[in-house]
Amino acid sequence: MLTQTPKGTKDILPIESYKWQYIESQIAKVCTNFGYKEIRTPVFEHTELFQRGVGDTTDIVQKEMYTFLDKGNRSISLRPEGTAGVVRSYIENGMSSQPQPVKLYYNISAYRYEKMAKGRYREFHQFGVEAFGSKGPSIDVEIISLISLFFESLGLKDVGLNINSIGCPVCRKAYNEKLMNYFRPSLEKLCGLCNNRFERNPLRIIDCKEEKCKSITSGAPAILDNLCGECKEHFEGLKKGLDNLGIAYNIDKNIVRGLDYYTKTVFEFISENVGTQGTICGGGRYDGLVEACGGPSTPAIGFGLGIERLLMEMESQGVPIPLPQEVEIYIATIGEIADTYAGKLVYELRKRQIPAEKDLLQKSLKAQMKYADKLGAKYTIVLGDDEIKNNKATLKSMKNGEQIEVALDNIHEEIINRR
Ligand code: HAM
């Protein structure tokens, strides 16, 4: 146990971390391009926020949260997602008095006590975006187009987009009655949780993963066929906006999403490469959440995109990720004087943004050269007493074996000129 990560978590080792850095840099680029600013919120919040924010009829709140009492006897939970914390921050920091829309993004770790499966972890990472204050479908289109351009910037192709509308409290009221009439005769066949959901939030039953519930939910009436006039118009606006940008989509009446806060637009980007659920990214509108958490009535929309699943998709599609910058020069040394000189030389090279390395273990020259090769150094030089005395050394290309004589105080220029 002592030397094992807890189930559902993993280390991101140096052979992988450069991929994460690359993705994070692409995220920052696309978000800046779209005018979204980064927000960082705490890893843990008061449990009540998620009960209210995510919804206490969801699987996440009922079964999956890491909840504990802190030493002051407060109930605290690790964030199972990013939206609730951002909504809390929007309210707490009075962002509703800033010019709207307020457009935010985040890169976070999140925690859910879930059954392990391909692409499903207990600690996972999300890139998310939340936009507050805009009511019409244009911002829905903007957010979806951001994801679409993000995928394009990475070189990903053919990630399917499914959209749906799950209505507002007005159409939901009539629809819930229809749903309850549909489920009432089968209540005994539904799982215990769904029985509980029946009175409180029957829409949740549609999202149940239990096989016995799934066979019943498959024939349930769809909310998309039961929208009020305003929600219908919003959905038409969304489709028109996506058509205008040439973004392809399918309408999937079965998307209800696993969190309680959604209203109107919901969407998912899916691929069969990323595990049983196949969702790389999911999001939607949540026009009632800010108010439900104690803030002013504020329309809002956002999404969460799983980085682990994104990496799986990139790997499946064979999308190349640029390798990290290699060591450009390794300074091998013979003797103590050369070692001291090399210390200064490496420092001067690094000052000029040239990744340089030297021996730190008093290795033999042969071992140093072997190590330089392992590091993938582009160039090496060997420094001994003579080289220092004459201010000259041989710069050797490790790629093609080419050797040239260079002045020691001019190595940086040689390297820069050869880039
Ligand atoms: P979500 O659908 O629960 O939505 O999660 C979003 C994405 O996070 C999923 O599509 C998936 O890629 C990733 N994800 C979720 N759970 C796991 C897991 N156990 N292991 C690995 N990846 C996972 C939300 O979290 C909402 N907050 C999204 C949102 C933001 N809606 C509006 N604003």
Which pLDDT does position 140 carry in this prediction?
A: 98
User: How many CB atoms lie under 10 A from the CB of residue 271?
Assistant: 21
- What's the half-sphere exposure (Cβ side, CA atoms, 13 Å) at 380? 21
202 CB less than 6 Å from ligand 1? no
Please write the tens of the pLDDT for every residue from 84-137: 999 999 999 999 999 999 999 999 999 999 999 999 999 999 999 999 999 999
238 CB less than 6 Å from ligand 1? no
Flag whether pLDDT at 275 surpasses 80.
no
Please write the tens of the pLDDT for every residue from 260-274: 889 999 999 999 888
d(CA 88, CA 94): 10
CA distances, 65 to each of 59, 229, 303 (Å): 9, 37, 20
Question: How many angstroms does the Cα of residue 345 sit away from the middle of ligand 1?
Answer: 48
pTM (two decimals): 0.93
Mutate to test the pocket of ligand 1, among 109, 124, 125 (most ligand atoms within 8 A of CB): 124
Query: pLDDT grade, residue 56 (50/70/90)?
Result: confident
Atom of ligand 1 nearest to the CA of 305: 7
271 CB less than 6 Å from ligand 1? no
Question: How many angstroms does the Cα of residue 106 sit away from the middle of ligand 1?
Answer: 13
Please write the tens of the pLDDT for every residue from 402-417: 999 999 999 999 999 9
Atom of ligand 1 nearest to the CA of 268: 10
Q: Is 334 exposed, middle or buried (0-12, 13-18, 19+ CB in 10 A)?
A: middle
Question: How many angstroms does the Cα of residue 280 sit away from the middle of ligand 1?
Answer: 8
79 CB less than 6 Å from ligand 1? no
85 CB less than 6 Å from ligand 1? no
Instruction: Read off the pLDDT of each residue in 157-184 and give the average, rounded to a whole number.
Output: 94
d(CA 310, CA 119): 10
Question: How many angstroms does the Cα of residue 117 sit away from the middle of ligand 1?
Answer: 15
Which pLDDT does position 326 carry in this prediction?
A: 83
Structure tokens given for 73: 């006897």
In this structure, the residue with its CA closest to atom 3 of ligand 1 is 258
Domains in the chain: ranges and CATH: 14-168+228-317 (3.30.930.10), 329-417 (3.40.50.800)
Query: pLDDT grade, residue 201 (50/70/90)?
Result: confident
Element (H, E) at 38: strand 37-38
Which pLDDT does position 403 carry in this prediction?
A: 96
Question: How many angstroms does the Cα of residue 127 sit away from the middle of ligand 1?
Answer: 9
Which pLDDT does position 210 carry in this prediction?
A: 86
Question: How many angstroms does the Cα of residue 256 sit away from the middle of ligand 1?
Answer: 13
Say if CB 154 and CB 320 are below 8 A apart. no
Which pLDDT does position 225 carry in this prediction?
A: 95
Atom of ligand 1 nearest to the CA of 283: 31
d(CA 392, CA 407): 5
- For residues 205-228, b (16+ Cβ closer than 10 Å) or e, as one string? bbbbeeeebeebbeebebbbebbb
Structure tokens given for 85: 């914390």
Question: How many angstroms does the Cα of residue 6 sit away from the middle of ligand 1?
Answer: 21
Residue 273 DSSP label: G
In this structure, the residue with its CA closest to atom 6 of ligand 1 is 304
In this structure, the residue with its CA closest to atom 5 of ligand 1 is 304
302 CB less than 6 Å from ligand 1? yes
283 CB less than 6 Å from ligand 1? yes
Flag whether pLDDT at 419 surpasses 80.
yes
106 CB less than 6 Å from ligand 1? no
